[in-house]
Amino acid sequence: MNIKRQVKITSLVSIALLLGSLTGCSSLFDKHIEYEYVLPDNYPVLKAIGYAPLSAQPGTNQAQKMLMAVKVSKLEAYRELTEQVYGQNISSSMTVKGAIAKNDGLQSQVNGVIRGAKVVKSYAAGDTYVTELELDMKRVHDLYITQAKPRKIKRVTYY
C-alpha cells in the first residue's frame, strides 16, 4: 500500500510540474510585437560662443593670424557645446604638509561627438574673433532617428 501511495504522489507531482512548465513557458507560442516610436515633448536649442585672440595666433601676417583665430574660435565654441551636452570630467589633486598646501592641481577634460550644430555668426570684435554656434536638439533627434530608430512595445499578440 505504501508503494501505491508513493506512485500516486509521484504521478501527481509529475503532472503538476508538466502543467506548470507548459503554462509558464511563453516560447511555446508564436507572438507578434508591435512597436511605436517615442518622441520627446520638447526640443531645446543650445547656444555656445567661442573666442580667440587675433594677435596671439601664430602666423607671419595678419591674414594667417585671422584664419587661425577663425579655426580656434570655432573649436572653442564646439568645446562649449560638448560641455553642455556631455558635461566635464574634472580631476583634482592636492598635497598638504604641515597644514600648508604644497601641490594643488586641477584638470578638466571634455569628450563627445556633436552632430548638427550650425554657425550662427562668425565675426571679429576688436582683437578677438568670435564664433557663435547653435545646436537645435530637434535636428540632432532627427539625425539620431535616421540611424537608431528607438521604439517601445505597443502591443504583443500571442497566437
**Pick from 49, 69, 67: nearest CA to 129:** 69
Q: Which residues have CB under 8 Å from 102's CB, separation 6+?
A: 95, 96
Q: Average pLDDT, whole number, for the chain?
A: 85
For 24, the enclosing helix (H) or strand (E) is: helix 2-24
The answer to whether residue 3 scores a pLDDT higher than 90 is no
Q: Please name every residue paired with 131 in a beta bridge, in sequence order, or none if there are none.
A: 50, 122
Q: Which residues have CB under 8 Å from 108's CB, separation 6+?
A: 88, 89, 90, 91
**Pick from 156, 133, 158: nearest CA to 27:** 158
Question: What three-state secondary structure class fits 125?
Answer: strand
Look up the domain containing 24 and give its range.
Answer: 1-159
pTM metric for this prediction? 0.64
> What is the per-residue pLDDT for 156?
81
- Record the cell numbers describing residue 6, joined without a space: 508513493
Report the number of distinct structural domains present in the chain.
1
What is the identity of the amino acid at 15?
Answer: I
* pLDDT tens digits, 28-87: 567 777 777 777 788 999 999 999 999 999 999 999 999 999 999 999 999 999 999 999
| Exposed e or buried b per residue across 6-35, where buried means at least 16 C-beta atoms within 10 angstroms of its C-beta | eeeeeeeeeeeeeeeeeeeeeeeeeeeeee
Q: Is the dihedral of CA 23, 25, 27, 31 positive or negative?
A: positive
CA distances for 81 relative to 5, 60, 76, 105, 155, angstroms: 77, 31, 9, 25, 39
> What is the per-residue pLDDT for 145?
78
